């Protein structure tokens, strides 16, 4: 039978009909070659391949902006005046400008595409009998996909096995309550919202797990059908965009008024009106903040690529700016502050405690041997094997591939040390009938099995939570009632283990009993606790110190035991050795209303333990209400609301569920706290780069206007010519400005406090800086002209050339004034930026070119400079740099 695709009304099929029509097998899935054939035939499982703007449209759009209109106008005026050389020259400038804009936009687009390619969702798929993590793009019809809480459904699918499956279908239906799924054939006329035997692409599994046959992919899915209608390249406006826009408006108004001032004074002076129009045009073009939005995008795109190299994938561009303002990081512990390479270290039975190590699949006792608790240990190993969703797969002789929660993988490794349990088909004897999936609210996982010896309940979880479900306790071969004081003694012992920094997991079970699939976690027998070693990441101590110096508060909020949390917090330098201050989830839930006292207590605590995701959200809100900018990490399905609520939601790439990744604005590839701090410092650098770009460009542009206006009063004939202004503007300021936008930043960015997110790109203080730089550049060019005219007695053309040369090089050297505040004179972020040197090289080469090529000299009205001219212009052009450095030293003191 051939696959009939797209198949309709699959919800009315039986499991057998589904498996038959899609030619697949519930246990082994389809074969790899089948999958390839189907992908070829039905396409990839992605409708997101966005229709991108064509290259031609991108080029054309470069011409549709105010500066281009001005240039076109300039060409028209020159043609009208029959000054064809000038018309061609302006046309060249126009094309150059468009090309630069185009290449920058292309660069930004490529970077963003590269980022999008990293944002892939993987799904557990069974093919040829093996479970593998497959990028959902490659999932095809007939694939068997295993879904768990936290997964995003990769395609529409028919459920063939399930365990308490609940799916949040709000992305599709808008319905906020999760839909409970069933195994059943439904009438053909059942509407989509009621098709409870199906799962749909793009929806989130919030509870339980299931196995499904994929019945539709990409545009044939329910989501695909709507998305293809609404999918359009919706560009969101970020706060940065808004700030850039208002800055542009200020600059345009400033330029216009100065230009009008220039024109009016010129007319009053009785100058040639054609010259006035041309110069005004050149001035307004010169001072127009043309590259602003594009450079900001390029700086952002470049910055996020650098972030990606440092393991932080940015999903929302606006979050980069927010990162720079972040002053509180609420981080979880496992995997972020610890290695998340988990090993069994201590096993604590009711009667004795042992320490173990697994070497080459052999159990080695490092302290004490089991004497009284053999039965307890056997049970712990069995529970660890059965109450487990991870897999260890032998890929080659030596290499194994682990999929799943590291704690569960460690338990499989423990089970594998037992001869009986390590047998390949042992697990099959215990058919799993139901599962109470682990979640960070209940902190327990349980499974119900049917075995030759009757029913068995296997459960593991946080000690406090599991003990509440236990009524009995096992002492070797005997089982007794669990007394309250025994419970307390067990809790006390585990506190000691936790205080060593070990993660604690308790184990319990029950034989026989009634088969109630929905409620089997009760009357359990407690058998023991395992302490897992999860060492702190040693490389993050400096990152935490860096945060402290950068005015960023780091708070740990974990689901783990308070003592474990405190121990790790101390080891990574989050709190002092003597600090015992920890607030637990229990403390938080006892609060009726947040009093001032509680609020202060919460705000002054650095470690929160045994919290639920809801409490994480509450803590974030308390911080936000106090005006803080909060970055928050999360991994579980229940963390999604907190990740969305935080100013920057950070999901864990390795440990994180797909739902958490989808809700976050940043995904950490390596889960490490270090990457968060690198991302924050990158966020700050990007903002500073954009700021430097603006300060540099605006001070250069304004100085051009001032020089022209001033010279037109003092020595009319030496005034810069329109084409000279255009040339300086296109050459000497654009390249260094761009290079500033691509700076890497340095450690100094983390020495300052976070910036206020409401602050404009250019604060009042920065406007004062700009005014000073404008003044310094203007003074240098004007005094060079005056010196050559009145001291060297140069003629007007030479004086004009001096103005041109001085301004061009003064602007080039001025780029070194843009180094970070308080940085060293010679070695700083600007001198270390290779793009700056490249820009200087390009600009100098172009300057030499215009002097060497006679035609260009002619167009720009230049003569080969004498030594005098070179010396005067050379020295004068260094003046803004010298003045700038003195200014920075004095002003910043």
Q: For the CB of residue 657, give the shortest distance to ligand ATP in the complex, in Å.
A: 11
Using the contact rule CB under 6 A, the part of the chain among 128-136, 558-566, 760-768, 878-886 near ligand ATP is 558-566
Residue among 503 and 537 whose Cβ is closer to ligand ATP: 503
Segment interacting with ligand ATP (CB under 6 A) among 54-62, 138-146, 330-338, 731-739: 330-338
Choose which of 142, 157, 303, 559 interacts with ligand ATP (CB under 6 A). Answer: 559
Query: 168 phi and psi, to 5 degrees?
Result: -85, 110
Binding window for ligand ATP (CB under 6 A); candidates: 237-245, 552-560, 571-579, 769-777: 552-560
CB of 515 to ligand ATP, least distance (A): 22
CA distance 408 to 196: 30
* Min separation Cβ 529 and ligand ATP, Å: 9
C-beta closer to ligand ATP: residue 328 or 407: 407
Name the minimum Å distance from CB 72 to ligand ATP.
Answer: 59
Nearer to ligand ATP, 332 or 587 (CB): 332
Q: Which residues contact 179 (CB under 8 A, 6 or more apart)?
A: 166, 167, 168, 169, 196
Contact 342, 711 (CB under 8 A): no
CA dist 710 and 459 (Å) reads: 84
Pick the closer one to ligand ATP by CB: 460 or 888.
Answer: 460
Facing residues of 205 across strands?
A: 167
The closest alpha carbon to 457, from 400, 526, 529, belongs to 526
Return d(Cα 216, Cα 140) in angstroms, integer: 8
Residue 373's closest CA among 402, 349, 346, 404?
349
Which residues make beta-bridge pairs with 41?
Answer: none
753-772 residues near ligand ATP, rule: CB under 6 A: none
Instruction: Decide: is 435 part of the binding site for ligand ATP (CB under 6 A).
Output: no
CA distance 805 to 784: 10
Shortest distance, position 26 Cβ to ligand ATP, whole Å: 25
What gap in Å lies between CA 656 and CA 633, rounded to an integer? 10
x/- contact string, 108-147, with ligand ATP (CB under 6 A)?
----------------------------------------
Q: Of 290 and 405, which CB lies nearer to ligand ATP in the complex structure?
A: 405
The residues in 497-536 that bind ligand ATP, with binding defined as CB under 6 A, are 503-505
Residue placing its CB nearer to ligand ATP in the complex, 405 or 746? 405
Map the footprint of ligand ATP across residues 157-216, applying CB under 6 A: none
Mask for 389-428, x = binds ligand ATP (CB under 6 A): ----------------x-xx--------------------
Helix or strand or coil: residue 487?
helix
Q: How many CB atoms lie within 10 A of CB 132?
A: 17
User: Does the protein bind ligand ATP through residue 446 (CB under 6 A)?
Assistant: no
Among 138, 438, 526, 673, binds ligand ATP (CB under 6 A): 438
Closer residue to ligand ATP (CB): 168 or 534: 534
| Least CB distance to ligand ATP at residue 503 (A) | 6
Q: Give the interface size with ligand ATP as a residue count (CB under 6 A).
A: 20
Residue recorded with tokens 């929806």: 203
Q: How far is the CB of 460 from ligand ATP (least distance, A)?
A: 5
CA angle, 691 then 694 then 699, to 5°: 125
CA distances from 729 to 48, 225, 291, 840 (A): 41, 50, 11, 14
Of the pair 334, 665, the CB lying nearest ligand ATP is at: 334
- Residue whose CB is less far from ligand ATP, 224 or 636: 636
Spatial distance between the Cα atoms of 487 and 508, rounded to a whole number of angstroms:
13
Measured CA to CA in angstroms, residue 865 lies from 373, 414, 597, 849 at distances of 96, 83, 75, 13
What phi, psi does 524 have (nearest 5°)? -85, 165
Give the C-alpha separation, 550 to 378, whole Å. 51
Q: Minimal distance in Å, beta carbon 517 to ligand ATP?
A: 19
Nearer to ligand ATP, 266 or 656 (CB): 656
* Minimal distance, residue 494 CB to ligand ATP, in Å: 10
E strands present in 544-689:
553-557, 583-584, 607-609, 630-634, 648-652, 666-668
**In the 8-state DSSP scheme, what is residue 732?**
I
| Residue of 166, 322, 326, 462 that binds ligand ATP (CB under 6 A) | 462
Does 774 sit near ligand ATP (CB under 6 A)?
A: no
Find, among 518, 490, 508, 475, the residue nearest to 383 by Cα.
508
CA nearest to 473, candidates 367, 585, 375: 375
Side-chain half-sphere exposure of 603, counting CA atoms within 13 A: 17
Site for ligand ATP contains 332 (CB under 6 A):
yes
Is there binding between residue 560 and ligand ATP (CB under 6 A)? Answer: yes
Which residue has tokens 């780029």? 815
Stretch of 69-77, 189-197, 428-436, 460-468 contacting ligand ATP, by CB under 6 A:
460-468
Tell me how far, at minimum, the Cβ of 294 lies from ligand ATP, in Å: 41
User: Interface with ligand ATP by CB under 6 A: which range of 192-200, 246-254, 438-446, 511-519?
Assistant: 438-446
Angle at 114 between CA 111 and CA 118, to 5 degrees: 140
* Shortest spacing between CB 339 and ligand ATP, in angstroms: 13
CB nearer to ligand ATP: pick between 347 and 505: 505
769 classed as catalytic: no
Reading the block at residue 514, the tokens are 């009634």
- Residue 853 phi/psi, 5-degree rounding, is -85, 115
Q: Nearest distance from residue 611's CB to ligand ATP, in Å?
A: 8
Nearer to ligand ATP, 58 or 499 (CB): 499
Interaction between residue 461 and ligand ATP (CB under 6 A):
yes
CA nearest neighbour of 293 among 238, 234, 233, 254: 238
Output the residue with the shortest Cβ distance to ligand ATP: 559
Nearer to ligand ATP, 102 or 673 (CB): 673
DSSP string, 539-559: GGHHHHHHHHHTT-EEEEE-S
Of the residues 332, 405, 587, 671, which is catalytic?
Answer: 332
Which of 279, 319, 373, 558 lies at the binding interface for ligand ATP (CB under 6 A)? Answer: 558
Contacts of 665 (CB under 8 A, 6+ apart): 314, 315, 316, 318, 319, 648, 649, 650
CA distance 95 to 212: 56
How far is the C-alpha of 863 from the C-alpha of 876, rounded, in Å?
19
Q: Which stretch binds ligand ATP (CB under 6 A): 58-66, 81-89, 328-336, 449-457?
A: 328-336
Q: Ramachandran region of residue 512, left (φ > 0), alpha (ψ -120 to 50) or beta? A: left
Q: State which of positions 716-745 bind ligand ATP (CB under 6 A).
A: none
* Contact residues for 826 (Cβ-Cβ < 8 A; gap 6+): none
Residue 372 C-beta: closest distance to ligand ATP, Å: 25
Cis previous bond, 6, omega within 30: yes
Q: Which residues of the chain form contacts with ligand ATP (CB under 6 A)?
A: 332-334, 405, 407-408, 438, 440, 443, 445, 460-462, 503-505, 558-561
Report the catalytic residues. Answer: 332
């Amino acid at each position: 039978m051939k696959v009939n695709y797209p198949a309709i009304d699959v919800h009315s099929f039986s499991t057998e009909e589904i498996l038959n029509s899609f030619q697949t097998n519930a246990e082994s899935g389809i074969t790899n070659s089948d999958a390839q054939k189907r992908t070829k035939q039905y396409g990839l499982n992605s409708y997101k391949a966005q229709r991108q703007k064509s290259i031609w449209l991108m080029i054309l759009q470069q011409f549709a902006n105010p500066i281009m209109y001005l240039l076109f106008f300039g060409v028209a005026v020159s043609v009208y005046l029959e000054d064809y050389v000038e018309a061609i020259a302006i046309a060249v400038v126009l094309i150059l400008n468009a090309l630069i804009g185009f290449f920058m936009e292309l660069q930004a687009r490529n970077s963003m595409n590269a980022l999008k390619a990293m944002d892939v969702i993987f799904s557990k798929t069974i093919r040829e009998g093996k479970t593998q993590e497959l990028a959902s793009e490659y999932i095809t019809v007939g694939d068997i996909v295993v879904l768990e809480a936290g997964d995003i459904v990769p395609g529409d699918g028919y459920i063939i096995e399930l365990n308490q499956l609940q799916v949040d279908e709000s992305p599709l239906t808008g319905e906020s309550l999760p839909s409970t799924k069933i195994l059943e054939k439904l009438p053909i006329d059942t509407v989509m919202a009621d098709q409870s035997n199906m799962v749909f692409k793009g929806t989130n599994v919030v509870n339980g797990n299931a196995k499904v046959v994929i019945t539709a992919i990409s545009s044939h899915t329910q989501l695909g059908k709507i998305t293809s209608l609404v999918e359009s390249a919706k560009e969101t406006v970020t706060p940065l965009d808004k700030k850039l826009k208002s800055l542009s408006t200020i600059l345009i108004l400033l330029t216009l008024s100065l230009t009008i001032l220039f024109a009016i004074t010129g007319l009053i002076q009785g100058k040639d009106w054609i010259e006035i129009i041309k110069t005004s045009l050149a001035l307004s073009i010169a001072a127009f903040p043309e590259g602003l939005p594009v450079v900001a995008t390029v700086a952002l795109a470049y910055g996020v690529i650098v972030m990606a190299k440092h393991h932080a994938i940015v999903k929302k561009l606006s979050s980069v700016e927010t990162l720079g303002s972040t002053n509180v990081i609420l981080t979880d512990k496992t995997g972020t502050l610890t290695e998340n390479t988990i090993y069994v270290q201590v096993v604590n039975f009711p009667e004795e405690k042992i320490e173990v190590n697994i070497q080459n699949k052999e159990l080695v006792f490092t302290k004490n041997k089991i004497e009284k608790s053999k039965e307890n240990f056997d049970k712990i190993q069995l529970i660890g094997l059965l109450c487990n969703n991870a897999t260890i797969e032998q890929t080659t002789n030596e290499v194994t591939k682990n999929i799943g929660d590291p704690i569960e993988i460690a338990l499989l490794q423990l089970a594998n040390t037992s001869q009986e349990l390590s047998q390949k088909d042992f697990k099959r004897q215990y058919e799993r009938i139901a599962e109470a999936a682990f979640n960070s609210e209940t902190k327990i996982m349980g499974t119900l099995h049917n075995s030759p010896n009757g029913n068995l309940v296997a459960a593991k979880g946080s000690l406090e939570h599991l003990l509440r479900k236990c009524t009995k306790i096992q002492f070797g071969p005997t089982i007794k009632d669990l007394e309250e004081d025994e419970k307390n003694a067990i809790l006390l012992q585990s506190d000691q283990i936790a205080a060593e920094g070990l993660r604690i997991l308790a184990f319990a079970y029950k034989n026989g009993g009634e088969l109630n699939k929905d409620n089997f976690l009760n009357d359990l027998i407690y058998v023991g606790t395992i302490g897992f070693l999860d060492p702190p990441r040693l490389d993050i101590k400096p990152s935490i110190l860096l945060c402290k110096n950068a005015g960023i508060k780091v708070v740990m909020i974990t689901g783990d035991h308070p003592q474990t949390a405190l121990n790790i917090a101390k080891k990574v330098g989050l709190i002092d050795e003597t600090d015992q201050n920890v607030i637990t989830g229990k403390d938080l839930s006892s609060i009726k209303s947040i009093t001032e006292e509680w609020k202060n207590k919460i705000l002054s605590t650095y470690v929160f333990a045994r919290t639920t995701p809801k409490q994480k959200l509450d803590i974030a809100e308390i911080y936000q209400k106090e005006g803080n900018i909060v970055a928050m990490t999360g991994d579980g399905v229940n963390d999604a609301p907190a990740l969305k609520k935080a100013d920057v939601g950070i999901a864990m790439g390795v440990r994180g569920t797909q739902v958490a990744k989808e809700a976050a604005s940043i995904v950490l590839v390596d889960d490490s706290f270090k990457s968060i701090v690198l991302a924050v410092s990158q966020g700050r650098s990007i903002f500073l780069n954009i700021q430097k770009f603006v300060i540099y460009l605006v001070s250069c542009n304004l100085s051009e206007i001032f020089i022209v206006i001033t010279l037109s009063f003092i020595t009319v004939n030496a005034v810069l010519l329109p084409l000279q202004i255009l040339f300086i503007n296109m050459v000497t300021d654009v390249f260094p400005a761009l290079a500033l936008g691509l700076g890497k930043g340095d450690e100094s960015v983390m020495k300052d406090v976070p910036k206020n997110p409401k602050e404009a790109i250019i604060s009042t203080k920065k406007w004062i800086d700009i005014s000073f730089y404008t003044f310094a550049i203007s003074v240098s060019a004007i005094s060079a002209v005056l010196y050559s005219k009145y001291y060297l007695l140069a003629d007007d053309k030479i004086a004009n050339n001096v103005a041109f040369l001085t301004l061009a090089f003064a602007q080039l050297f001025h780029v070194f004034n843009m180094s970070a505040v308080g940085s060293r004179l010679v070695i700083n972020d600007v001198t270390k930026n290779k793009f700056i040197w490249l820009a200087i090289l390009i600009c100098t080469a172009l300057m030499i070119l215009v002097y060497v090529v006679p035609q260009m000299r002619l167009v720009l009205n230049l003569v080969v400079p004498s030594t005098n001219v070179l010396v005067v212009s050379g020295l004068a052009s260094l003046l803004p740099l010298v003045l700038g450095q003195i200014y920075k030293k004095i002003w910043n003191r």
